Each structure stands twice: as structure tokens, then as C-alpha cells.
Amino acid sequence: MTIQYTFELAGQSYTLEHGRFANQADGSVFITVGDCQILATVCWSRNFEKVNSFFPMVVDYQEKFSGGGRFPGGFKKREGQPSESEILKCRIIDRTIRPRFPKSFRQDFHIVVQVLS
């Protein structure tokens, strides 16, 4: 079942879809703003027997070359390591989301944000 929300903000039309992609993830949203499409997924561990002394949250932000119509060729056929701008965007996402969790939440948490087009 796909749930879709559409709203206007600062002259831009935003569309959020839930339940269309990444059904095996614990949570996912497909965001469309103009021509830009982003898929954000969240997975977390439900192993409550393992107790961490900190909140192990991992954020991955990926801008694929195929999103811009470019496909890597030649010797380097894969995407490779993240660029500096991707690392900074990961940190921005981490720094804004981390304080919103309760202090007692210590489960493994993984967020993947992919720019598709």
C-alpha cells in the first residue's frame, strides 16, 4: 500500500511516498522535489540483549553517477569512495537527527540516503 503526501513549501512542490520502495527496510520514503528524486531508508537492530555504551548511528549519503545520466567507464567502473561533499552531507544529516533520539536509545541504527535523479 502506497501512501503519498504532497505539499507546497517556498514555491516548490514536495511529494513524499511511503511503501513504494525498500519494503524490507524498517522505514523508507521516496521524496520528489521538482526534477530531483531521493530515496531515504532506515534500518535498526531489534537485538535488545546487546547493550551498547553509545548510540551507534551510521548515515550514508550517495550521489550515484547514473542519477545525472553518467555511467563510469574505463579502469574505474564502480562509484568508488564518497566525495568530500557526500561526507559533509552525511555529517549534516547525523548532527541534525542524533539529538532527536532519547538518551536511552542505544540500538544499531543505519540511514541510507540515495539521490536517484
Asked whether the beta carbons of 25 and 42 are under 8 A apart, the reply is yes
Angle at 108 between CA 3 and CA 116, to 5 degrees: 45
What b-and-e string marks burial along 50-84, b requiring 16 or more CB atoms within 10 Å of the CB? eeeeeeebebebbbeeeeeeeeeeeeeeeeeeeee
Residue type, 72: P
pTM: 0.80
Q: What is the pLDDT along the chain (117 residues), one digit of tens a residue?
A: 889 999 999 999 999 999 888 889 999 999 999 888 999 999 998 888 888 888 889 999 988 766 556 665 655 556 667 888 999 999 999 999 999 999 888 889 999 999 888
* HSE-up (13 A, CA, CB side) for residue 106: 8
Q: Are strands 57-63 and 27-33 parallel, antiparallel or unpaired?
A: unpaired
